Amino acid sequence: MSTHELYTIPAELSTWDVSMTGAARFTWEYDDGRDRMLALYQKGKDKQWDSVKRIDWGLEVDPYDVLGIPDTTIAIYGTPLWDRMDERQRKDVRRHGAAWQFSQFLHGEQGAMICSARIVESVPDLDAKFYAATQTMDEARHAETYARFLQEKVGLAYPINEHLKALLDSTLGDSRWDMPYLGMQVLIEGLALAAFGVMRDITTKPLPKQILAYVMQDEARHVAFGRMALRDYYRNLSEGELREREDFVIEGCYLMRDRLRGRETWENLGLSRPEVDEAMECVDRSEYLRLFRSLLFSRIVPCVKDIGLWSPRLQKAYADMGVLDMAGQSLDALMRQDEEIAETIDAERFAQEERERREEVAETIAAAQDTSSA
């Protein structure tokens, strides 16, 4: 089935053309490069995986309860609007919410794939080109995985959100080689990584938990790549050049915050215009979503600080967003945790498969003995 048949809102075009400027840079310096970058490149090669084989696609998913989380996480829960809905409408709210979230993950991963390829093309250092090439493959795998999940398990999809589209447009349309790093590796990837983490930790369903954990294992390396490359480069920029990057970060963070409101989901549930406005008021007042939005910046804020963009005006913007306290998060600790969770899920799965195999062998032997006795 074509993905266009799953879209709740018709996609404007079958393809979206973004005009890109800047130079493709070759380098004839084939030295060993930076040890840290080459170690990350080696890890990127070692950690490649096949979504067809690593993920258990045989697991069932209820499209009306994709994550298995309480209704209290829905912004309109307990409001007059929720009380007026019958169970069919409530099921649609759950399904559309999950479909919208995973659709934005999917579109973001395709954006990350394009940006990674752009980095391979434009970054001047060979060791960074090497790593970005492995990331391009990672992002292709992630897009493949989320597309399959939406097509086979949810059966519903949303086009790219206008705010995510705007940030991708700004990121890819800039001629400076560091902007795909800043827009994708720091902002979009950082936000996605935090969103994946929140959902990975609260879902009670094994298939989305596997997908989110395995994707996060890759994404943690990608954010580390952005930190490493930009921290080295930004040390040598002028005050004016740093201010331009901070302007981009501030605008991008507001775009990412606003995209989380998801107005289009409410507009496609058959609600009246006043009911859509009522739902959006609930979204803006929701304490759960306020906390969720705050947690989503847990990866971005410390990363921005780490790469050297930390002027008083940038701190003020984060204070206005209510996320300044996230600057104290340890990115290295979060990355280690992401690795460990994915490895734990693998270990538990393989242990369960081994137990099932032994039980099957035992049953086969017992059945053969019963036949023999008879």
Residue of 14 and 196 predicted with greater confidence: 196
| C-alpha–C-alpha distance, residues 63 and 213, integer Å | 20
| Mean pLDDT within 332-351 | 88
90: closest CA among 79, 105, 106?
79
Domain boundaries, the chain: 3-13+34-330
Amino acid at 148: R
> Tens of pLDDT along 95-146?
999 999 999 999 999 999 999 999 999 888 898 899 999 999 999 999 999 9
| C-alpha–C-alpha distance, residues 304 and 310, integer Å | 7
Amino acid at 189: E
Maximum CA pair distance of the chain?
Answer: 89
Q: Which fold has domain 3-13+34-330?
A: Ribonucleotide Reductase, subunit A (1.10.620)
pTM of the full structure:
0.86
Predicted confidence at residue 14, as pLDDT, reads: 66
